[in-house]
Amino acid sequence: MGISNLKVIILAAGRGTRMKSDLPKVLHPVCGVPMIQHVVKAARSVSRHKPLVVIGYQAELVSEELGTTVDYVLQEKQLGTGHALMMAGPHLGGFPGDLLVLYGDTPLITEKTLIGMVAEHHKAQAGVTVLSVEVDEPTGYGRIVRDKNGDLQGIVEEKDASPTEKKIKEVNTGIYLFDCQELNKSLNQLKPDNAQGEYYLTDVISLLVTEGKKALAVLSGKSEEILGPNDRKTLAETDRIMRRRILDYWMMEGVTIIDPSSTYIEDQVKIGRDSIIYPGTFLQGSTEVGENCQIGPYSQIQNSLIGNGSLVRFSVLDQAKTGQGVNIGPYSYLRPGTILEDKGKIGGFVETKNSQIGEGSKVPHLSYIGDCKIGTEVNIGAGTITCNYDGYSKHQTVIGDEAFIGSNTNLVAPVNVGKGALVGAGSTITKDVPASALALARSRQINKEKWYRRKKD
């Protein structure tokens, strides 16, 4: 449900130059989802209020991604974290509760950590609380400076830190919790007196301490949660950690994953219990896999629905939908618009596109089925092609229930094959076939006796 007296602001105005990309850093995907979406998800889990997102570099792209799920603050010039909250002032004025500050490039932060931080903040009746972690290599992070009693005294940024302060291994995660009213007072006192000429939000802590407010640093034991990708190398590491979380979740939900190190499941995927995921499998986008399925090995399924009790081996599915108990592969490609109904089969080396294949129907091997509607209990012989494109437009083929299409048949659309009809192998069908009819469309066989011997002589 979230906390009613808590607002969340997400700072996402920067470019992320070390990513060497025209895309804003916060839009780079982690397990198939732009990293800022992971942060928004965490924000919505702890607060009942719509998150507030500070945007700047390519703001239109960020707002296009997030849509109306958040409110926005535009920071045209990126003059520091303190400046970002100054720009948000009109949205925060008068709010009687707390403000949680998150960053759009920390996708690994969890609801559990944030809830724990809020609890410690209220327990200590603090004016400000900082989430900190200890790291072996603190270079680049702001250092947590404590007084002799261990209480938080301030945060020193890397470029402003003394040699002694640079040795401190407890660092700032960039995640803060403020009493909103106290924060608004302190923001008015910020000055850009530092090497960067920016307004540091960390300076607010020193101001609050000077005014006698309680400052708290909550040390988290999960340093991975603050990992914010600054380049493609750390982006890959972040993706690896998130992917393992996803795999662990599904295994705990009753899904068997044979080899987690070679299995890739994105954040929005759903899988039913007692399904088995074999090595080399990619489940991407909004894919949903039912119960008691066997997926893989070496299959890629994106934005597709797989019914209960289905088998998919060595195949690619893109925006396809199947019923229950289907059998797909090996080496088949189900393109967008493919619907395979209950107990249907698409066998080896088959490609389908924008086609509905009825219950119990089979396309066993070596066929192309495009812009086609196939009824129930139909058998499609090997090498069958629906010739759906005439060079200008796409046309549909309709095959009735219980029809049998012989091997190596060309069905030149638009064309209809009636219920229970049989098309002889090797035919090229250009006209409709009536129900229960036998259609043959091939040249008469001619044998020339001893022709090969005469040619050889």
Digit-coded pLDDT (tens) for 371-420: 999 999 999 999 999 999 999 999 999 999 999 999 999 999 999 999 99
Topology of the domain covering 6-226: Spore Coat Polysaccharide Biosynthesis Protein SpsA; Chain A (3.90.550)
Q: Beta strand 316-318 with 333-334: parallel, antiparallel or unpaired?
A: parallel
Q: Which residues contact 130 (CB under 8 A, 6 or more apart)?
A: 144, 152, 155, 172, 173, 175, 176, 177, 205, 215, 216, 217, 218
pLDDT in tens, 287-323: 999 999 999 999 999 999 999 999 999 999 999 999 9
Q: Is the pLDDT of residue 456 over 70?
A: no
List the beta bridge partners of residue 178.
Answer: 99, 128
* Residue 455 confidence (pLDDT): 64
The mean of the pLDDT values for the chain is: 93
Backbone angles phi, psi at 444, to 5 degrees: -65, 140
User: What pTM was computed for the model?
Assistant: 0.90
Cis, bond preceding 34 (omega within 30 deg of 0):
no
Mean pLDDT calculated for residue range 16-45: 94
Topology of the domain covering 232-439: UDP N-Acetylglucosamine Acyltransferase; domain 1 (2.160.10)
Backbone angles phi, psi at 71, to 5 degrees: -105, 160
144-154 as b/e: b if 16+ CB within 10 A:
bbbeeeeebbb
Residue that has been written with the tokens 């192998």 in this structure: 425
**What percent of the chain has pLDDT above 70?**
98
46-82 as b/e: b if 16+ CB within 10 A:
bbebebbbbbbbbbebbeebbeeebebbebeebbbbb
Closest CA to 282 of 260, 270, 298: 298
Q: Give the CA count within 13 Å in the CB-facing half-sphere of 104.
A: 34
* Residue 44 confidence (pLDDT): 95
Mean pLDDT calculated for residue range 325-334: 98
* Residue 3 confidence (pLDDT): 84
Portions of the chain given CATH number 3.90.550.10? 6-226
CB 341 within 8 A of CB 325: no
* Residue 1 confidence (pLDDT): 57
- Which among 28, 38, 83, 365 is annotated as catalytic? 365
* Residue 427 confidence (pLDDT): 97
Closest CA to 36 of 11, 4, 2: 11
Mean pLDDT calculated for residue range 339-362: 98
- Pairs from 421-425 (Cβ < 8 Å, separation ≥ 24): 425/381
Residue that has been written with the tokens 């990708």 in this structure: 229
- The band of 155, judged by pLDDT with boundaries at 50, 70 and 90, is confident
Diameter of the chain measured on Cα atoms: 111
Cα separation, 57 vs 78, whole angstroms: 9
Mean pLDDT calculated for residue range 417-428: 97
Q: Is the pLDDT of residue 285 over 70?
A: yes
Q: Per-residue DSSP letters for 97-125? A: SEEEEEETT-TT--HHHHHHHHHHHHHHT
Cα separation, 334 vs 61, whole angstroms: 31
For this structure, is 38 an active site residue?
Answer: no
Mean pLDDT calculated for residue range 436-455: 85
Portions of the chain given CATH number 2.160.10.10? 232-439
CB 117 within 8 A of CB 226: no
* Residue 389 confidence (pLDDT): 95
Closest CA to 56 of 82, 84, 91, 18: 84
